[in-house]
Amino acid sequence: MIKKIPVERLRPGMFLHNLNAGWMSHPFLRNRFLVTEECMIERIIAAGIHELYIDTSRGLDDKDAPTEAEVNAQLMEEMQAAVHSETPYRCTTVAEELPNARRLRARATRIIRSVMHDAKMGKAINLEEIDSLVSEIIESILRNDSALLLLLRVRAQNDYTLVHSVAVSAMMITLCYTLSCDRAMLHQAGVAGLLHDIGKVRVPVEILNKPGRYSEYEYEVMKRHPKHGLEILQGVEGMPHEALDVALNHHERLDGSGYPHGQGCETISRMARMAAIADVYDAITSDRCYHTAMPPTAALKKMWEWSRHHFDPSLMRAFMTAIGIYPVGTLVKLESGRIAVVVEPHESEVLKPKVRAFFSTRSNLHIPAQLIDLSRPFGAGGGDRIIGYEDPRKWNLDPTRYLSDVS
């Protein structure tokens, strides 16, 4: 049985099932192992890990600890209660905005590739072009906040850094919009998100794209990229202060376990806290050479769990409201045995979006695409509920094909 315990209750003889941390956030080669010595526990605590999961079938038990299933159920209840009921105004549907979003995604990728190349070569960054691009991203999000984010979730591994920068920019703008920030703040957030990883141009490619766990030396080299980013952006006339702040501090954590300076909650700005959330969410929902993407809902649940120590809980609540617990394009399993794509969020019931079912696991056959409003009862176009999520790789489908004719 898998159970969750605070690190203070870890003792030799327990089998670690999950360190409950990012893959680079602990000093062990594996995430699952038997704890044999007190010094191992000391290293786990020193890595800033607060809570973890043990496998009682392979080691000592903690009778008072909740099971993984109980923890997950509690987290989903908390997330549902935390998300606001208000839905941002959308003047177009996702399907209507997709053509604009496709063109914008392509243009944004070209521009950020050029910006990073110029930065690597020591050339000046064209801030005017960045400002123009961010203005376009804002306009797309104000028309419909789901279309561009949906397209940015689909990417090749070799395009990760480029698309990641655009995705973080779009998510920071969306988060600011949810927080009712003014247009100037939306623009500052967009520029900061777009340039937050600019310092990676000074990280050797063999480290940046290494298909495995970093050595201690390699990790130290990677951890320098925030300082490199600050140095690069300081040399650009007119660069917003927020962009400098985010480039330097997007890996800082509220408990002081982040880098490059290990700041605590008292000194990390609100903008840098926003960037930390957007950066981690996009990273763990993306396929990498060393990491398999988590489904969006699972990623939000894990981040909500981490927010007790790493992220600002109030901003995490706003982020879940902005992105949605079941974002458009998410593949889900229904209680009826059907597989469906989320096509539209519900105005108030965050766990009951509109979905389009396309496959029956009971007959093991594709079915005619059917729109289902999960907030409605049986006989009224609804009467089903989400019981889990599906891996989109299994189906090899383009979720955008199911977004048209949503009513």
Please name every residue paired with 67 in a beta bridge, in sequence order, or none if there are none.
Answer: 3
- Amino acid 24: pLDDT: 57
Q: How many CB atoms lie within 10 A of CB 238?
A: 7
pLDDT of residue 390: 85
User: Closest by alpha carbon to 258, among 308, 210, 223?
Assistant: 223
**pLDDT score, position 95:** 87
Strands 51-55, 331-334: pairing kind: unpaired
pLDDT at 407: 40
Q: Pick from 131, 177, 133, 169: which is nearest to 152 by CA?
A: 169
The predicted pLDDT at position 276 comes to 97
Q: For 155-194, what is each residue's pLDDT tens digit?
A: 765 677 889 999 999 999 999 999 999 999 999 999 999 9
CA distances from 276 to 59, 247, 318 (A): 35, 10, 14
Strand, coil or helix: what is 277? Answer: helix
Residues of the chain under the 70 pLDDT cut = 22-27, 85-89, 156-158, 289-290, 378-382, 405-407
DSSP tally for the chain: helices H, then strands E? 15, 9
Q: What is the DSSP string of 227-270?
A: HHHHHHHHTSTT--HHHHHHHHHTT--TBS--SSS--BTTTS-H
Q: Compute and round to an integer the Cα radius of gyration of the chain.
A: 22
pLDDT digits (tens, 9 = 90+) for 118-129: 999 999 999 999
Query: How far lies 234's CA from each of 21, 228, 243, 253, in Å?
Result: 32, 10, 9, 23
On the 0-12 / 13-18 / 19+ scale of CB atoms within 10 A, 114 is: middle
Residue type, 91: C
Count the alpha carbons within 13 Å of 372 in the hemisphere toward its beta carbon.
Answer: 27
Q: How far apart are CA 305 and CA 75, in angstroms?
A: 7
Q: Could you tell me where the beta strands, DSSP code E, fall in 257-392?
A: 331-334, 338-344, 354-360, 365-373, 386-389
Nearest Cα to Cα of residue 73 among 293, 305, 280, 294:
305
How many whole angstroms separate alpha carbon 329 and alpha carbon 230? 35
pLDDT of residue 406: 45
Dihedral of the alpha carbons of 4, 9, 11, 13, in degrees to the nearest 10: -40
3-state SS assignment for residue 367: strand
pLDDT at 379: 60
Task: Identify whether 260 is preceded by a cis peptide bond (ω within 30 of 0).
Answer: yes
Q: Is 346 exposed, middle or buried (0-12, 13-18, 19+ CB in 10 A)?
A: middle
Query: Model's pTM, two decimal places?
Result: 0.92
Task: Concatenate the DSSP letters of all residues of 62-112 into one string.
Answer: -TTSPBHHHHHHHHHHHHHHHS-S-----SS-HHHHHHHHHHHHHHHHHHH
* The pair of three-digit structure tokens given for residue 315, joined into one six-digit string: 């901003």
Question: What was the pLDDT predicted at 397?
Answer: 78
